[in-house]
């Protein structure tokens, strides 16, 4: 079902599911939770950023000295993380009143950003539950940062293309990263669990990703990816045994070893295909994903400013 359409036909950048309503923002805008009426925006020609208020319709600018901002994250109402062409990650301490920006300063020790990438940073993901910040870059790596200490933890290396999307599972701490059409799954300590490369010819880039997180132990939890071809792909985890079980006298703890984790494509959601039984090459890209609070509905925003919903089975 089509739930919402942005009048300006801008790509959807963020979907927030509240108790009684759904909030939709265009690309390069981010709501400051839990204020909801205040937003942070970027992507202006002079590399500035802006804070605004949807209620008062006021906008107040704040120039950034760190190049063009390509991505941002807001873990709470007093913290904003920005990154972009400068290759550095900046964590800002902010204070916003209804009519003005009171404070925006770097949180890092000595007022320095987080250095580590060698090319533009294109995506960010934050988990306050695990005190983790992850940045993805065109340098084919992600970096894990400690959100509380604001320091380097480890690097997620080995991507075959620039990183295009990130997500953190707040229940397990697992991290999903996307590089082109490839999907990678990591532990919160930076160990690669598995990765998958589609084998059916050229595949569209993954532009956004989300975990379903109803219960940590729920086997129905999946990874959802939104792609440049307008198709949503749903992935589940499967385990295969890599060696035969040990002899009966071997300790049980040893018999549990030898399992390998895999990501398996279990479903594709394509609104155009559902309506006409064939795919259109002009499908707008899926630009953002969100799950309802009840986990009963999947919401997807596209490059034409529309939001669609699917009922989860």
What pTM value is reported for the model?
Answer: 0.87
- Give pLDDT tens digits for 113-140: 899 999 999 999 999 999 999 999 999 9
Phi and psi angles of residue 254, each rounded to the nearest 5 degrees, phi first: -80, -30
Query: CATH code for 32-197?
Result: 2.130.10.10
Q: Which pLDDT tens digit goes with each residue over 134-183?
A: 999 999 999 999 999 999 999 999 999 999 999 999 989 999 999 999 99
Per-domain residue ranges of the chain:
1-27+203-313, 32-197
**Residue ranges in the chain whose pLDDT is less than 70:** 1-8, 35, 63-64, 98-99, 109-111, 199-201, 215-219, 243-257, 272-281, 313
Which pLDDT belongs to residue 255? 37
Buried b / exposed e along 42-63 (16+ C-beta atoms within 10 A): bbeeebebbbbbeeeeeeeeee
In the block, residue with structure tokens 């009171």: 102
Query: What pLDDT is stored for residue 195 in this prediction?
Result: 94
Q: Which pLDDT value is given to residue 252?
A: 38
């Amino acid at each position: 079902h089509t739930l919402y359409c942005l009048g300006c036909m801008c790509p959807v950048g963020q979907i927030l599911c509240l108790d009684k309503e759904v909030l939709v923002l265009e690309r390069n805008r981010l709501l400051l939770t839990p204020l909801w009426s205040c937003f942070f925006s970027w992507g202006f020609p002079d590399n500035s950023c802006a804070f605004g208020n949807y209620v008062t319709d006021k906008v107040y600018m704040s120039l950034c000295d760190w190049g063009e901002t390509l991505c941002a994250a807001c873990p709470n109402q007093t913290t904003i993380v920005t990154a972009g062409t400068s290759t550095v990650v900046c964590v800002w301490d902010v204070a916003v009143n209804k009519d003005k920006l009171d404070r925006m300063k770097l949180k890092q020790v000595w007022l320095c950003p987080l250095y580590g990438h060698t090319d533009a940073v294109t995506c960010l993901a934050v988990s306050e539950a695990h005190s983790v910040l992850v940045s993805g870059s065109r340098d084919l790596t992600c970096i894990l940062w400690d959100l509380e200490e604001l320091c380097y933890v480890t690097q997620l290396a080995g991507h075959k293309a620039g990183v295009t999307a990130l997500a953190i599972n707040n229940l397990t701490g697992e991290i999903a990263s996307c590089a082109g059409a490839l999907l990678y799954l990591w532990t919160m300590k930076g160990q690669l669990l598995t990765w998958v490369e589609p084998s059916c010819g050229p595949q569209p880039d993954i532009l956004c990703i989300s975990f379903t997180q109803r219960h940590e132990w729920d086997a129905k939890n999946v990874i959802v990816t939104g792609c440049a071809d307008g198709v949503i792909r749903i992935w589940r985890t499967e385990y295969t045994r890599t060696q035969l079980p040990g002899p009966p006298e071997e300790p049980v703890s040893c018999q549990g070893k030898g399992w390998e984790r895999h990501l398996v494509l279990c479903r594709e959601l394509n609104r155009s295909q559902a309506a006409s039984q064939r795919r259109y090459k002009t499908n707008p890209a899926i630009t953002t994903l969100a799950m309802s609070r009840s986990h009963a509905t999947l919401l997807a925003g596209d490059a034409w400013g529309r939001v669609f919903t699917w009922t989860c089975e």
